[in-house]
Amino acid sequence: MSTLLALAPMRMEARAVGRGAPGALVARTGVGPDRAAAGIGGHLATADAHAVRAVAVTGVAGGLVPDLRPGQVVVADRVLRPDGTLVAELLSATVLAAALRRDGLPVTVGGVVSTDHLVRGDAERRSLAATSGALAVDMESATLLAPDWGLPTAVVRTVADTPGGRLVSPGSATDLVRALRALTRTGPAMQRWAAAAGTRSVILAGPRSYCAGVERAIDTVRRGLERFGAPLYVRRQIVHNSHVVAELEAGGAVFVRELGEVPDGATVVLSAHGVAPTVREEAARRGLRVVDATCPLVAKVHTEMRRFAARGHQLVLIGHPGHDETEGTLGEAPGIRLVETPEDVAGLDLDPGRPVAYATQTTLSPEETAATIAALGARYPHLTGPSASDICYATHNRQEALAAIAPRCDLVLVVGSATSSNSRRLVEVAERLGVAAHLVDDETDIDLGWLDGASTIGITAGASAPESVVTRVLRALGGLGPLEVTAEDVRRESVTFPLPLEVR
Ligand code: SF4
């Protein structure tokens, strides 16, 4: 059974696609909207008769913007008429484009405009780009996607002529060959895309996404930009998420690793993960204005460590080496030992006759630290820990919510960046329950192969991941077929933290 119906205008385009997608049904539509319209009833019938799962309009196209090169692949996220009217939105375009990139193809995602004639001059290209906002032009997509196929659809075109390098010009034959070769190379990814198409259910784990500490940290930078203007320096990633960092950078935030990169007298925001006292001392010495976005729950851990140190306790921190939060907490008192696992406890050289106190990295849940705490207790009978109120609610809640839905899922997607400790832990939670799980920074990280056979997908997001990215993932999955989305909230969160005084 073929899953992909590929529609291509000319014989040479159909052949190129067929070579790359041998399992696909490839149909010729003829060139131009009239021929395409005349054959559409037949194509719809073909799709029906062969239980096709997805339809891709393919072929070569003209580039409208100067940076497109011959052989570049354009995946349409929308198909337009020359006046900019929207004909179709193609929701899975970014996922398909990512699959093509993984196959080594140069890919751009954007609008494709369909005209009723071959566009030749640069003036017309410029005008079309301006009126439609499209990247490339063809003559068939608008016609072929006007009817409701009731199936996932895509437009994948390869650029054959570019501004300044028209189809009928010296060298144009080479450009056409490049475009056709690229078209052949799009075949495998288009087949994977079609194989991933189907009806699905999604269960959204709740709570997910931002915790109160992350919201406060992001708002601190936004308000700081409003109040102090750009550039506003931020030490380390304000929260561990690439989208958040990119958005704030676009607004004028400048992320630095150390204070040495901040000019004297400038304003610097300290990230949610907290800093060692030496960082504050350096800022004071340098005359920097500090806005402290340290999460109050992290600050509480720091206070506890200082309190225990003042009472003469030997100190142990359970956390991940090299994490921003761990580095900050370790700086609170000399001689704090860092352990990650119960095995690490065996290597400690503390005096068993003196009291020992421990704290944990906030992004570790009680379940994750239980074995290490037990090992500490067995080795050091005078062990004291933090009070229950010091444990971060957000990590625990997100893990609990995912554990509640994961056993009913074929696949779990955790939205979060690879740098986010609590997001990576969520992947482990699902895997411990025997469910395939993957961390995705956004929908472009989704490997189409994961979706094959996955009819129920669980989705959650780490505490530093924006809900807007969850929406993007849902939208992309919706572009692969009908999606039934249910939200399951195991509990509601009402925690909020006031903003730092400097930005209130
Ligand atoms: S995960 Fe917990 S400790 Fe970390 S920023 Fe969020 S609320 Fe604060």
The CATH number of 297-390, from 3.60.15.10, 3.30.365.10, 3.90.1170.30, 3.40.1010.20, is: 3.40.1010.20
Cα of 498 vs centre of ligand 1, distance in Å, is: 14
Domain ranges of the chain: 4-195, 200-208+393-489, 212-295, 297-390
Helix (H) or strand (E) holding 18: helix 11-20
Distance from Cα 392 to the centre of ligand 1, integer Å: 6
What distance in angstroms lies between residue 379's CA and the mean position of ligand 1's atoms? Answer: 30
Which backbone phi and psi does 339 adopt, to 5 degrees?
-125, 150
- Order of all β-strands in the sheet with 267-270: 253-256, 232-235, 267-270, 289-292
Cα dist. 240→71, 110, 271, 273, 441 in Å?
Answer: 37, 29, 10, 9, 11
Nearest to 419 by CA among 291, 324, 307, 309: 324
Residue 353 pLDDT: 86
Q: How far is the CA of 215 from the centre of ligand 1 (A)?
A: 10
Closest CA relative to residue 134, chosen from 73, 83, 192: 83
Q: Give the architecture-level CATH label for domain 212-295.
A: 3-Layer(aba) Sandwich (3.40)
Active site residue 343: no
CATH number for the domain formed by residue range(s) 4-195: 3.40.50.1580
Ligand 1: residue whose CA is nearest its atom 7: 213
Contact present, 113 and 85 (Cβ < 8 Å): no
| Catalytic residue from among 13, 215, 325, 327 | 325
Answer for the pair 88, 79: CB distance below 8 angstroms, yes or no.
yes
Taking the CA of residue 212 as reference, the ligand 1 atom at the shortest distance is: 7
Report the CATH fold assignment for 200-208+393-489: Cobalt-precorrin-4 Transmethylase; domain 1 (3.40.1010)
CA of 500 to the centre of ligand 1 (A): 16
Q: Which residues contact 95 (CB under 8 A, 6 or more apart)?
A: 193, 443, 444, 446, 448, 476, 479, 480
474 lines ligand 1 (CB under 6 A): no
Ligand 1 atom nearest residue 296's Cα:
8
From first to last of its 504 residues, the chain has per-residue pLDDT tens of: 558 999 999 999 999 999 999 999 999 999 999 999 999 999 999 999 999 999 999 999 999 998 899 999 999 999 999 999 999 999 999 999 999 999 999 999 999 999 999 987 888 999 999 999 999 999 999 999 999 999 999 999 999 988 865 555 545 788 899 999 999 999 999 999 999 999 999 999 999 999 999 999 999 999 999 999 999 999 999 999 999 999 999 999 999 999 999 999 999 999 999 999 999 999 999 999 999 999 999 999 999 999 999 999 999 999 999 999 999 999 998 899 999 999 999 999 999 889 999 999 988 878 889 999 999 999 998 899 887 766 789 999 999 999 999 999 999 999 999 999 899 999 999 999 999 999 999 999 999 999 988 999 999 999 999 999 999 999 999 999 999 999 999 999 999 999 999 999
Specify the DSSP class assigned to residue 263: P
Pocket test for ligand 1, best of 362, 417, 424, 495 (most atoms within 8 A of CB): 362
87 lines ligand 1 (CB under 6 A): no
Instruction: Say if ligand 1 is within 6 A of residue 272 CB.
Output: yes
Q: Are 335 and 294 in contact (CB under 8 A)?
A: no
Nearest to 151 by CA among 39, 28, 44, 25: 44
- The count of other CB atoms within 10 Å of the CB of residue 143 is 23
- 4-195 and 212-295 agree in CATH topology: yes
| 295 Cβ closer than 6 Å to some ligand 1 atom | yes
Distance in angstroms between the alpha carbons of the first and the last residue of the chain: 62
Contact 98, 181 (CB under 8 A): no
Atom of ligand 1 nearest to the CA of 497: 7
Instruction: Answer yes or no: are the C-beta atoms of 137 and 119 closer than 8 Å.
Output: yes
Specify the pLDDT at position 165.
55
Query: Taking Cα atoms as reference points, which of 489, 482, 477 lies closest to residue 448?
Result: 477
